[in-house]
Amino acid sequence: MWYVRDCSRKQKAQYQVRGRSGKPVTNTIPYGFKKDPEEKHHWLVDEEAADVVRRIFHLSAEGKGPQTIAKILMMDKVERPSYYLARQGRGTCQRKTDMSRPYDWTGNTIADMLAKPEYMGHTVNFRAYKPSYKDKKMIKRPPEEWLIFENTHEAIVDAETWKLAQRSRQTVRRTDTTGVANPLTGLLFCAECGARMYNHRCGGRALREGWKPDADSGLYPSDNYNCWIEKRPYSARLHGRTGATGYYNFRSCG
């Protein structure tokens, strides 16, 4: 038992030294990268997979959520990461990969990818740890405890696209009466008071009244974005917020 514990301490010390030197300590290379054959601790861009990664980040930056992005990739028959890697004889889960479902993307897969700073060219170490050599389960650390080394390999996604994608991920999107989640949710604010604008679609009333949507956009003339103050005037008055513009229609929002 003493020998096992001593070996564990030595391995942990080596792990710490390597991780604090900026070299990746993970055995799982993120989808979109591949190991450099000349330097095992250096990653190269896998261009075929990197194109998919860029597309995912751009879709997120446009306001699409993980589930929607997963559906788009499935419809376009884009190979999911585990299948793509297993087909090439790469990855750590080749034997466990179900090769009968090549395009079965999930929202969780997309969300995990969107949360990786590695795609900006950074190395992220010490995401998780084991309290003891006896433990098999890794415990995740909060992001503020990660050790990040910037610009250690070629980036797949630029910093601006990354920021837009992160802002989009923080916005809760609910479908409206037409079953559509508006991509501008969380991105529009009142020019007069700075309050958040809320999407208001009049699909139900439009159907009852027999209104016709715009031929190009599919929107009704009464569709608009309500200011928070306009939507909850009593609550706004309690907070001393008054005098904002009532709403903007979809056309004025671009």
Q: Angle at Cα 60 formed by Cα 25 and Cα 85, nearest 5°? A: 45
225 with 194, same domain: the answer is yes
What is the predicted pLDDT for the residue at 241?
46
Residue 81 pLDDT exceeds 90:
yes
Residue 139 pLDDT exceeds 80:
yes
- Confidence grade of residue 248 (pLDDT, cut at 50, 70, 90): very low
User: What is the distance between the terminal CA atoms of the chain, rounded to a whole angstrom?
Assistant: 69
More confident site: 195 or 88? 88
140 with 44, same domain: the answer is yes
Highest mean pLDDT among 142-156, 188-202, 208-222: 142-156
What is the predicted pLDDT for the residue at 227?
63
Of 150, 169, 188, which residue is a domain's last? 169
157 with 189, same domain: the answer is no
pTM of the model: 0.69
What is the predicted pLDDT for the residue at 5?
56
Residue 79 pLDDT exceeds 70:
yes
Q: Of how many residues is the chain composed?
A: 254
Quote the domain boundaries for residue 211: 174-254
247 phi, psi to nearest 5 deg: -160, 165
Highest mean pLDDT among 91-95, 150-154, 191-195, 223-227: 150-154
Of 124, 147, 169, which residue is a domain's last? 169
Of 120, 145, 169, which residue is a domain's last? 169
154 with 193, same domain: the answer is no
What percent of the chain clears pLDDT 70, i.e. is strictly above it? Answer: 61
68 phi, psi to nearest 5 deg: -65, -40
pLDDT in tens, 92-116: 777 788 888 999 999 999 999 999 9
What is the predicted pLDDT for the residue at 77?
97
143 with 193, same domain: the answer is no
116 with 225, same domain: the answer is no
For 104-169, the DSSP string reads: ---HHHHHHHHT-GGGGT-EEE-SEE-SSTT--S-EEPPGGG-EEESSSS--SS-HHHHHHHHHHH
Asked whether the beta carbons of 125 and 131 are under 8 A apart, the reply is no
How many independent structural domains does the chain possess?
A: 2
Residue 85 pLDDT exceeds 50:
yes
* Domain containing residue 61: CATH number: 3.90.1750.20
92 with 142, same domain: the answer is yes
